[in-house]
Amino acid sequence: MPTSADPAALPYADGDFYAFEQLLSGKERDRLAEVRDFLAREVRPIAVDCWNRGEFPMDLVPKLAALDLVSPVRRQGYSNLFAGILHAEVTRADASIATFMGVHDGLFTGSIEALASPEQQDAWLPDIYSLKKIGAFGLTEPLGGSDVAGGTRTTARKDGANWVLNGAKRWIGNATFSDWVVIYARDVADNQVKGFLVDTALPGVTTTRIDNKLSLRTVQNADILLQDVLVPDFFKLAGANSFRDVNKVLKVTRLAVAWQAVGLQLAAFDVARRYAVERRQFGRPLASFQLIQDQLVRILGNAVSSMGMMVRLSQLEDEGMARDEQSALGKAFATARMRESVALGRSILGGNGIVTDFEMAKIFADAEAIYSYEGTAEINTLVTGRAITGISAIV
């Protein structure tokens, strides 16, 4: 006979089956609780409606600024483990808002923190940290994704005290409303990729929203066209002089995207578990059926194994020992497990799993973007394969 219990009183209801959060300091756990309370009040209640309409909640930006989430490691002194779990929690509430923060904080702010000179950082970072200036990250191009490292078509040409940028970027999150965007372009003089902080209000900068998306619909992705855009020399990032420099940013953000895959699996577990306990079929809770419990445990196992890998990788990052190929494996593995987890969650909800009213359809769809961006599973697999064989299978 099935047994019953108060679902909220169960020790593993939060999905942290191996108590990974106990590895955080007391201060970090308190901060995590504060952020969770904010997400429950301000983000999750509006997430599905914003996603359905494909609109970004601009009134949320001042609230996010007051919460002070930008640069938790470098500026606030928290661990990379805390930053990863935090990013997973934001994703758990809404993958679109997590992606907004990932673009502004990880990719954009990360570029400034890693590649700008001290003088540039002093001039730009205060407004970036406070979200007075919202940023975007321009690397991917209409004809360049995984191969953009050696095939950047956007060009930069030095002209006296300015640089002249020409080209196009695609899939640039936040770009429809961002104040600044970091543009990576190939210097025609030495054929090396350089980085530039570009004011989106400059003449020659055109942004066009990408519509008809099935994933991360709240995120405002855009095409950017650059036509003879004059950028003063001060806005050329001092430390961005080759694609190797760009990779300093991508190594860390790839780790963050893998944490997003953890967060989305926890979101799938939350929704599927609650539905299975509350929904009744044949006069019994759906959760009382063996096949449903098997699916729930598989979601949990995927989430826990992904989280375990990411906990260790974040610890290595804290110790300065994390390598590019380890981030690549983390992203490839966690996103593959995520894809399976959200599919299982959608199955548990049956027909209700294909409408956003029950959240799972949104979670299911959002997983597809996380699976692909910040290096596809295939490319990250080959990066890892190169590390263990010494042979590159990437053409």
Q: Is 58 in the same domain as 172?
A: no
Distance CA 87, CA 67 (A): 14
Q: Is 168 in the same domain as 262?
A: no
- Per-residue pLDDT band at 5 (split at 50, 70, 90): low
Distance CA 74, CA 134 (A): 18
Q: Is 142 in the same domain as 88?
A: no
Range of the domain at 221: 135-242
* Confidence (pTM): 0.94
The confidence score (pLDDT) of residue 8 equals 57
Q: What is the CATH number of the domain that holds 264?
A: 1.20.140.10
Q: Is 273 in the same domain as 226?
A: no
Residue 394 domain flag: no
Residue 231 domain flag: yes
Coil, helix or strand for 166?
strand
Coil, helix or strand for 237?
coil
Name the residue among 84, 81, 78, 38 with its Cα closest to residue 60: 38
Q: Is 309 in the same domain as 216?
A: no
Q: Is 140 in the same domain as 221?
A: yes
Q: Is 238 in the same domain as 250?
A: no
Contact criterion met (CB below 8 Å) for 91 and 83: no
Residue 358 domain flag: yes
- Tens-place pLDDT, residues 181-198: 999 999 999 999 999 999
Q: Is 258 in the same domain as 225?
A: no
Q: Is 139 in the same domain as 238?
A: yes
> Which of 129, 156, 185 is the last residue in one of the domains?
129
Q: Is the Cα dihedral 114, 118, 123, 125 positive or negative?
A: positive
The confidence score (pLDDT) of residue 151 equals 74
Residue 120 domain flag: yes
- Per-residue pLDDT band at 394 (split at 50, 70, 90): confident
> Which of 129, 152, 168 is the last residue in one of the domains?
129
> Which of 90, 114, 129 is the last residue in one of the domains?
129
The confidence score (pLDDT) of residue 146 equals 67
Residue labelled with tokens 């760009």: 246
Q: Is 82 in the same domain as 145?
A: no
Residue 204 domain flag: yes
Residue 174 domain flag: yes
Q: Is 366 in the same domain as 249?
A: yes
- Tens-place pLDDT, residues 133-177: 999 999 999 987 767 766 799 999 999 999 999 999 999 999 999
Q: What is the CATH number of the domain that holds 31?
A: 1.10.540.10
Number of separate domains in the chain:
3
Q: Is 52 in the same domain as 97?
A: yes
